């Protein structure tokens, strides 16, 4: 019995690789298993290598697994590329035509003529992936009836002929395995607790979180890897009376958001780095004019066009500082798919309550990954709203009133007696332009005071994840989707006898000072793993807390691997003489 | 008995910052008189601008005003109208704001047919930055940034609006206040995107291109029998080399962006509105 199984299906784009992975996920989610996936996208529109990795577990997991237990390769190229990631005792299922390298001698390999079965027996090359599913269902003892049900759901609307074709493909794949392959490996599809899980991508969780938080106006411009957010909302938001508009560019998108938000609607846009660069000027306007907005940036390899289909965490500086002048904004970073829902929903509450832009940073890997989510985690209502003014007939409304309160109330356009100006110029309390030195100071302080208030707001409490041993001298601070590999690395290090503790702040501006200061007070070394070259979070931590950091960076377009972090932990442990450490054997 | 002039009620009380002799005073005056004639409640008026001399106008008018950033008045106005269709939305800006830095937005707001009115103040110069050439500078021989003459030819704002598919296109002149007021009223009353080019002289940096005497000498009203649904004729009038035509070039009816949103919602909902729970079902 293997409660934790990592599978990878690799082939060429167009071979239906992703469908195999997603079908396994669907079945597992209905079984109540926890799932985290990772998939690569070819840079080409058609063709190119692609793979999906699926990790299934009975327990809650936060990482897609480093090396795989079970590898499925649909062609020779896929085999060459992916074999190094197969565990020593792992199993290979591959196309019968593939030449096997010598290193596979003595290991469990199943060869199946998928191409021949699909083209000769079924007469349809595109049904190959369903043949693979049939074979897998036999080898891994998958609930075949469920697969049939799933295929019926997927193909029924394409007509009986197509459906029958695919059911036939499933059966033939299954039969081939039954007749020709004796079960030679210990792997089985894990059993779930039958509590049904929801299955969604990070992008879908963002769209859902926004919708649950009352967002009804979405403006955006297509960009990889964020487009899925807009595409999902385009189908579903109008059902709730909302609108989605594809604009002519990202500047128009964020400006339309600014207008819709000023008029009172909860509004958002989503983009990737190039779009966030274009939006920078308007972020300053939102800050200056004190208008709420939520901007999601699904980061990809940069700078410039960079690597659109690869992951990176290199927009932190842009999110924190992009725009001229002292421009206030909140920056948040969810770590998992359920977190994408939670953090995005919270982003709207903070934007509305404090009247400023909130940037939510995710990355390609998190945007595209399928993960199970407990149904209770995606139920939510707005927790805060914009403060509206009580208008008085005897005094004109002052939109930017200076005073005791951290936020000044708004009068939404249309309100009788609330006519006023909002502006990107420095202004007085009534919104009229004012360049005098006192006013600029007072208004800048007003805008920045909101950040201190956010830090103290109970809404932003519990926005840090903690892993590991609370007494450990080695600390890790990381962010976003790197949290998953960090969590795994901490537990691998523990098995090696090296105590480590980690903190993952999900709000990066304002930083959760209390939590971070407490953490920094306990540890002797701070490792900062992140997916960028210069160590952007490490730099922020050094300048904020005047501490030395051990920066662990990676720019390969793929997530950090736990063993890369463990290596740094071991090096750090050596400098500290952590005595409980017995040996430094290869982890995992 | 003549009705009382209520146009003052549409002034905010903030004094305009424009130079003495600036053509924009005439536009402000035509605008507030037009608003008064329409008896528009000031709280239902949203006035959005970009950056430049003309974009200062919202400060001077009693309304919900939004003075934004250079070139972005139109998309902001699109957002405002989308979130609150009850508002009367007006955008104002200059030739640099609307046709240089913000020139990429005009085709899209026009083809979307956002139900709003856009006044493009055309003085053929950058006034706020003190005298650089704009996309509409034609006759003025040199400017501070083209000391040896021009490197590019000028664009014709009304002609652009026509080819972009604006459903209402007109040209007015700041000196012809009554005529301009009438155009503004028609623009606001038109259901869809109304584009009004307003010729106005910059008294400080370019008195040549929009020279009042020259325009008065050359102007001609759009003939009464012009069919505003005839795009070819509209284009001929807008691009007339001999005469400066003033009046309504284009007026046509088609669904607005708001209408299209309603259609989309109807199609998406099918028979019944969905709730959050229904959206979750697809992930099960």
Q: Is A424 on the interface with B (CB under 8 A)?
A: yes
Find, among A439, A434, A427, the residue nearest to A399 by Cα. A427
CA-atom Rg of chain A in angstroms: 26
Average pLDDT over residues A219-228: 98
The H-or-E segment that residue A41 falls in is none
CB contact under 8 A, A256 and B65: no
Task: Enumerate helices (H) and strands (E) in chain A, giving the number of each.
Answer: 18, 21
Residues in chain B: 284
Q: Is B213 on the interface with A (CB under 8 A)?
A: no
Mutate to test the interface with A, among B40, B69, B97, B114 (most CBs of A within 10 A): B69
Find, among A332, A344, A341, the residue nearest to A373 by Cα. A341
The minimal CB distance from B261 to the residues A199, A243, A262 is found for A243
Q: What is the pLDDT of residue B1?
A: 53
Question: Residue A1: pLDDT band by 50, 70, 90 thresholds?
Answer: very low
Structure tokens at A37: 């996936």
A587 pLDDT exceeds 50? Answer: no
Task: Please give the C-alpha separations between residue A272 and each of A139, A304, A364, in angstroms, as whole numbers.
Answer: 41, 11, 9
Q: What is the pLDDT of residue A424?
A: 98
pTM of the model: 0.96
Cα separation, A45 vs A50, whole angstroms: 12
Q: What is the pLDDT of residue A393?
A: 85
Task: List, as ranges, residues 350-409 from A with C-beta within 8 Å of B.
Answer: 373, 375, 378-379
To the nearest whole Å, the CA of B77 is away from the closest chain A CA by 6
To the nearest whole Å, the CA of A190 is away from the closest chain B CA by 19
Q: What is the pLDDT of residue B270?
A: 83
Q: Considering the domain delimited by A464-576, tell me its CATH architecture.
A: 3-Layer(aba) Sandwich (3.40)
Q: Which residues in chain B touch residue A245, judged by CB atoms under 8 angstroms apart?
A: 78, 82, 257
Q: Is B232 on the interface with A (CB under 8 A)?
A: no
Secondary structure of residue A164 in the 3-state scheme: helix
- Cβ neighbours for A398, distance < 8 A, ≥ 6 positions apart: A408, A420, A429, A430
In what side-by-side order are the strands of the sheet with A357-363?
Answer: A243-246, A217-220, A267-271, A293-299, A357-363, A330-332, A507-509
Q: Is B129 on the interface with A (CB under 8 A)?
A: no
Per-residue pLDDT tens over the stretch B97-121: 999 999 999 999 999 999 999 999 9
- Cβ neighbours for A190, distance < 8 A, ≥ 6 positions apart: A1, A2, A3, A4, A5, A28, A33, A56, A57, A58
Strands A4-12 and A49-57: antiparallel
Least confident of A33-47, A85-99, A303-317, B86-100: A33-47
Q: Are A258 and A286 in contact (CB under 8 A)?
A: yes
Q: Are A265 and A240 in contact (CB under 8 A)?
A: no
Which CATH number fits the domain A4-180, given the four candidates 3.40.50.300, 3.40.920.10, 2.40.160.40, 3.30.70.141? 3.40.920.10
Q: What is the pLDDT of residue B157?
A: 98
Find, among B282, B274, B277, the residue nearest to A200 by Cα. B282
Average pLDDT over residues B52-76: 98
A321 pLDDT exceeds 60? Answer: yes
Cα separation, A554 vs A278, whole angstroms: 26
Q: Is A416 on the interface with B (CB under 8 A)?
A: yes
Judge if ipTM > 0.95. Answer: yes
Q: What is the pLDDT of residue B3?
A: 67
Domains, chain B, ranges and CATH?
A: 7-255 (3.40.50.970)
Delimit the domains of chain A by residue range. Answer: 4-180, 199-378, 464-576
Structure tokens at A307: 């690597």
Which is more confident, B17 or A535? A535
Q: What is the pLDDT of residue A588?
A: 36
A250 pLDDT exceeds 80? Answer: yes
Q: Are A369 and A484 in contact (CB under 8 A)?
A: no
Secondary structure of residue A337 in the 3-state scheme: helix
Q: Which residues in chain B touch residue A412, judged by CB atoms under 8 angstroms apart?
A: 84
Strands A293-299 and A243-246: unpaired
Asked whether the bond before B269 is cis by omega within 30 degrees of 0, the reply is: no
Which CATH number fits the domain A199-378, given the four candidates 3.40.50.970, 3.40.710.10, 3.10.450.50, 2.60.40.3120? 3.40.50.970
Q: What is the pLDDT of residue A77?
A: 95
Q: What is the pLDDT of residue A2?
A: 55
The minimal CB distance from A264 to the residues B14, B84, B108 is found for B84
A584 pLDDT exceeds 60? Answer: no
Cα separation, A584 vs A476, whole angstroms: 19
To the nearest whole Å, the CA of B125 is away from the closest chain A CA by 22
Q: Are A188 and A146 in contact (CB under 8 A)?
A: no
| Equal CATH topology for A199-378 and A464-576 | yes
Find, among A90, A20, A81, the residue nearest to A49 by Cα. A81
Least confident of A279-293, A320-334, A567-581, B162-176: A567-581
- Cβ neighbours for B82, distance < 8 A, ≥ 6 positions apart: A217, A243, A245, A256, A259, A260, A263, A265, B114, B257, B258, B261
Per-residue pLDDT tens over the stretch B200-239: 999 999 999 999 999 999 999 999 999 999 999 999 999 9
CB contact under 8 A, B41 and A257: no
């Amino acid at each position: 019995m293997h409660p934790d199984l990592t599978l990878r299906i690799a082939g060429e784009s167009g071979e239906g690789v992703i469908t195999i992975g997603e079908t396994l996920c669907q079945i597992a989610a209905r079984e109540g298993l926890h799932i985290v996936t990772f998939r690569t996208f070819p840079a080409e529109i058609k063709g190119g290598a692609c793979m999906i990795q699926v990790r299934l577990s009975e327990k809650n997991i936060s990482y897609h697994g480093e090396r795989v237990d079970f590898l499925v390769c649909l062609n020779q190229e896929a085999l060459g590329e992916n074999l190094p990631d197969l565990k020593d005792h792992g199993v290979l299922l591959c196309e019968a035509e593939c030449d096997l390298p010598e290193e596979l001698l003595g290991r469990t390999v199943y060869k199946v003529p998928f191409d021949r079965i699909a083209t000769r027996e079924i007469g349809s090359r595109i049904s190959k992936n369903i043949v693979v599913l049939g074979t897998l269902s036999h080898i891994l003892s998958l609930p075949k009836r469920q697969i049939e049900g799933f295929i019926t759901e997927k193909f029924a609307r394409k007509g009986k002929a197509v459906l029958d074709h695919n059911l036939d493909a499933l059966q033939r794949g299954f039969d081939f395995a039954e007749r020709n392959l004796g079960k030679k490996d210990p792997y089985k599809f894990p059993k779930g607790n039958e509590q049904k899980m929801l299955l969604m991508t990070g992008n879908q969780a963002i769209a859902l979180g926004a919708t649950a938080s009352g967002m009804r106006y979405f403006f955006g411009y297509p960009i990889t890897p964020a487009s899925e957010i807009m595409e999902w909302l385009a189908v579903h938001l109008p059902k709730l009376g909302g609108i989605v508009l594809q604009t002519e560019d990202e500047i128009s998108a964020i400006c339309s958001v600014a207008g819709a938000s000023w008029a009172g609607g909860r509004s958002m846009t989503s983009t990737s780095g190039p779009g966030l660069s274009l939006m920078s000027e308007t972020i300053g306007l939102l800050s200056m004019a004190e208008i709420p907005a939520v901007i999601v940036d699904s980061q990809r390899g940069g700078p410039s066009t960079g690597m659109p289909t690869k992951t990176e965490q290199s927009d932190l500086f842009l999110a924190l500082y992009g725009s001229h002048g002292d421009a206030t904004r909140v920056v948040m970073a969810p770590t998992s798919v359920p977190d994408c829902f939670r953090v995005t929903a919270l982003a709207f509450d903070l934007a509305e309550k404090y009247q400023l832009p909130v940037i939510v940073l995710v990355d390609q890997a998190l945007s595209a990954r399928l993960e199970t989510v407990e149904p209770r985690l995606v139920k939510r209502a707005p927790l805060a709203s914009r403060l509206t003014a009580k208008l008085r007939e005897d005094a004109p409304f002052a939109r930017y009133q200076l005073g005791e309160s951290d936020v000044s109330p708004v009068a939404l356009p249309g309100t009788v007696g609330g006519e006023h100006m909002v502006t990107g110029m420095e202004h007085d309390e009534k919104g009229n332009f004012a360049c005098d030195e006192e006013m600029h100071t007072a208004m800048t302080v007003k805008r920045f005071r909101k950040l201190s208030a956010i830090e103290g707001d109970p809404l932003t409490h519990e926005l840090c994840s903690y892993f590991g041993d609370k007494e450990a001298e080695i600390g890790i601070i990381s962010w976003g989707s790197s949290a998953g590999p960090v969590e795994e690395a901490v537990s691998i290090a523990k098995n090696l006898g090296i105590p480590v503790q980690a903190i993952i702040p999900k709000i990066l501006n304002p930083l959760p000072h209390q939590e971070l200061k407490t953490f920094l007070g306990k540890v002797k070394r701070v490792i900062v793993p992140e997916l960028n070259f210069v160590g952007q979070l490490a730099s922020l931590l050094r300048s904020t807390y005047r501490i030395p950091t051990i920066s662990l960076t990676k720019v390969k377009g793929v997530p950090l691997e736990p063993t890369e972090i463990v290596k740094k932990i071991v090096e750090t442990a050596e400098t500290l003489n952590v005595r409980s450490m017995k040996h430094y054997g290869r982890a995992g | 008995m003549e009705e009382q002039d209520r146009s003052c009620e549409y002034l905010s009380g903030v004094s305009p910052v424009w130079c003495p002799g600036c053509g924009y005073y005439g536009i402000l005056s035509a605008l507030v008189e037009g608003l008064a004639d329409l008896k528009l409640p000031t709280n239902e008026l949203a006035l959005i601008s970009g950056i430049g001399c003309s974009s200062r106008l919202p400060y001077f008018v009693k309304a919900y005003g939004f003075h934004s950033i250079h070139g972005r008045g139109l998309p902001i106005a699109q957002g405002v109208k989308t979130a609150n269709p009850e508002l009367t939305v007006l955008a104002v800006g200059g030739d640099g704001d609307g046709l240089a830095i913000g020139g990429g937005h005009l085709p899209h707001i026009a083809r979307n047919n956002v139900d709003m009115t856009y006044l493009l103040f055309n003085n053929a110069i950058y006034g706020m930055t003190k005298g650089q050439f704009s996309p509409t500078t034609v006759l003025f021989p040199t400017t501070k940034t083209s000391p040896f003459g021009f490197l590019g030819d000028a664009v014709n704002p009304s002609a652009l609006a026509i080819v972009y598919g604006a459903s209402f296109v007109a040209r007015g002149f700041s000196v012809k206040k009554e005529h301009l007021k009438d155009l503004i009223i028609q623009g606001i009353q038109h259901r869809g995107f109304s584009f009004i080019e307003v010729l106005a002289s910059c008294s400080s940096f370019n008195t040549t291109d929009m020279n009042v005497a020259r325009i008065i000498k050359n102007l001609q009203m759009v003939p009464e029998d012009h069919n505003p649904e005839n795009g070819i004729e509209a284009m001929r009038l807008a691009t007339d080399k001999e005469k400066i035509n003033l009046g309504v070039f284009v007026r046509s009816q088609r669904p607005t962006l708001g209408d299209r949103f309603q259609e989309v919602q109807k199609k998406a909902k099918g028979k019944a509105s969905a709730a959050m729970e229904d959206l979750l079902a697809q992930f099960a």
